[in-house]
Amino acid sequence: MDGSRRSSKANAFFSGLGKKKKIVLFDTLVNNYSKDELVAVLAHEVGHYKKKHTLFSMIFSILQTALLLWLLSVFINNEWFSLALGGTEYSLALSLIAFTLLYSPLSLITGILMNIYSRKNEFEADNFARVTFSAEALASALKKLSSDSLSNLTPHPMYVFFYYSHPPLLQRLKALQA
């Protein structure tokens, strides 16, 4: 993928299912990483596929969308929310405001659950690359990726718990040494 036009950050990801599946490597990655580092990144992405992370992430996001649409229909088809917000009768606008207010705490919770799942998957994919290729090459690629994206080396654990979809670099390096 031609990522260099937009940013100097390097990245790789898995996309598609079945016959359409592919691993996308940014040109910034291909140009600036050694062959071993690239193979390690590739092995990590293959790990996501082999451990069925891609499939389950897709299922979870479909379920999340279904939940959102169901809740939206409950709010739109019910006058309680309009009355609770001070309206005298059903109002679509008030229903939508109530939905937005009450959906944000719920999406915070689903976001936390998705992040916990995603961080677990990163460790599994790292381990797949360690077993099938090389811990050293992956560690070296992760360090480069981390410095390219100016990531925080020592984020607060609570911040990681709420918002990080990937474990912090030092934890991943430590897990690779185990």
First CA to last CA distance, the chain: 33
Contacts of 55 (CB under 8 A, 6+ apart): 17
- Given 27, 36, 89, 126, the catalytic residue: 126
Residues near Zn ion, by CB under 5 A? 122, 125
Supply the minimum distance, in Å, between the C-beta of residue 44 and Zn ion. 6
- Given 36, 45, 79, 89, the catalytic residue: 45
The answer to whether 126 is a known catalytic residue is yes
Judge residue 91's burial from the number of C-beta atoms within 10 Å of its C-beta, 0-12 exposed, 13-18 middle, 19 or more buried: middle
d(CA 75, CA 96): 7
Give the nearer residue to Zn ion in terms of CB position, either 91 or 124: 124
Supply the minimum distance, in Å, between the C-beta of residue 105 and Zn ion. 28
Phi/psi for 151 (5° steps) reads -75, 155
Supply the minimum distance, in Å, between the C-beta of residue 172 and Zn ion. 10
- Dihedral sign (CA 26, 28, 30, 33): negative
Supply the minimum distance, in Å, between the C-beta of residue 93 and Zn ion. 42
Give the nearer residue to Zn ion in terms of CB position, either 11 or 64: 11
Give the nearer residue to Zn ion in terms of CB position, either 82 or 127: 127
Query: Could you tell me where the DSSP H helices lie in the chain?
Result: 27-32, 35-50, 53-76, 80-84, 92-132, 135-148, 157-163, 169-177
The answer to whether 37 is a known catalytic residue is no
Give the nearer residue to Zn ion in terms of CB position, either 103 or 117: 117
Active-site residues, by number, are 45, 126
